Amino acid sequence: MLALQCASKGLSQFQGILGVALRFSSSLADEATFDLQPFKLHKLESGPSTTATLTRDDALTYYKQMQVIRRMETAAGNLYKSKIIRGFCHLYSGQEACCVGMESAIERDDPVITAYRAHGWTYMRGVSLVGVLSELTGRKTGCAQGKGGSMHMYNYNFFGGNGIVGAQVPLGAGIGFALKYQKKPNIVVALYGDGAANQGQLFETYNLAKLWNIPIIFVCENNGYGMGTSVDRAAASTDYYTRGDYVPGIWVDGMDVLAVREATRFARRYALKQGPILLECVTYRYHGHSMSDPGTSYRTRAEIQEVREKRDPISALKERMLSNNLAAADELKKIDLGVRKEVDVAVTAAKADPELPIEELYTHVYKNPPSGMKIRGCDNYSYNATM
């Protein structure tokens, strides 16, 4: 009898907890619809939808992805200050909505190529936190075995991470040409910054891409500053979305993950059928150009703080989720704590991982080299043979 009473009591407690959980879950919305800031169009009669539907599952996914990238970049900055990361290090903090929004609108088989501010994109293209942070610290479990560092990260259908300003854009067009030649149902995304937007090779690439109708989305991540030079001091025309001439373009609020997603969905459909299209994602970077740049000599701290308070992509998504009942505050706090723990674990692993032995300096110079191939200066045979 006592056992039955205890079981009954336990069942009632469980039913009570279940009832609270059900009431909690039923009070949350499955989706919500939002108005977006109007897009600006160049050589397009119509553009992306100015309303976007966001499901609860997608909202939680985007929120966590942006938080992971933000926390990862904060950790990278701290590792650099501790001299554990050496060389160049370009942080993506503030620009998270660009890579998260775009990745949600393309396929894994759609290649992506970007510049050297690549950590966020590397993570979104499937490299783990440990893979990114170990690469930054030059360790063997890095996505390029520690040989590429901050500026040269790669993964399946992710072609970097490129150190030469603007040079990834013609490479991206080459990838797009291969897709068309092989009749693959995919597009390529080629990203560059406003600092690279005045490079002559970009205009040459626009021309060939339009001439051959290559399935490519050119993306200018306009964060306002090329190194320490503001866009207004660098370009006679700062309407970067119009600068493809015959290539149509779209101006996008790059701090709004939904606007980026909708613009990319539209651009992907367009590129598959009609060829190249250009997106200008107006965004902002919170840090300097690289870790050697404090980022405050050419802009005020008040400017940075105002963007953080009024335009931050993570805060904006959080406010949308809470105000439209897509998530509860406690739920988002739990995600924040989980992300912090996940990044801390990855930092510890990255610092503990061994560096490559010196012999690895001579490997991976070529992919799949012929058997017995010797490389001058990289082995005893060729070194002695040239003495």
Degrees (nearest 5) of the Cα angle 134, 339, 68? 60
Three-state secondary-structure class, residue 280: strand
| CA 172 to each of CA 163, 247, 250: distance values in angstroms, whole numbers, following the listed order | 14, 15, 19
Q: What is the DSSP letter of 356?
A: P
Amino acid letter for position 236:
A
Classify residue 74 as exposed, middle or buried by CB count within 10 Å of its CB (0-12, 13-18, 19+): middle
- CB contact set of 381 (below 8 Å; sequence gap of 6+): 374
Alpha helices in 82-109 (DSSP H): 96-103
- Which DSSP string corresponds to 105-141? TS-TTS-EE--S--HHHHHHTT--HHHHHHHHTTBTT
- Is the distance from CB of 137 to CB of 78 less than 8 angstroms? no
Q: What is the CATH number of domain 41-356?
A: 3.40.50.970
Q: What is the pTM of this model?
A: 0.89
pLDDT at position 12, please?
56
Instruction: Say if CB 69 and CB 343 are below 8 A apart.
Output: no
pLDDT one digit per residue (tens) for the chain, 387 residues: 444 454 555 555 545 544 444 445 558 999 999 999 999 999 999 999 999 999 999 999 999 999 999 999 999 999 999 999 999 999 999 999 999 999 999 999 999 999 999 999 999 999 999 999 999 999 999 999 999 999 999 999 999 999 999 999 999 999 999 999 999 999 999 999 999 999 999 999 999 999 999 999 999 999 999 999 999 999 999 999 999 999 999 999 999 999 999 999 999 999 999 999 999 999 999 999 999 898 999 999 999 999 999 999 999 999 999 999 999 999 999 999 999 999 999 999 999 999 888 888 778 887 787 887 777 766 554 444 443
**CATH 3.40.50.970 region(s) of the chain?**
41-356
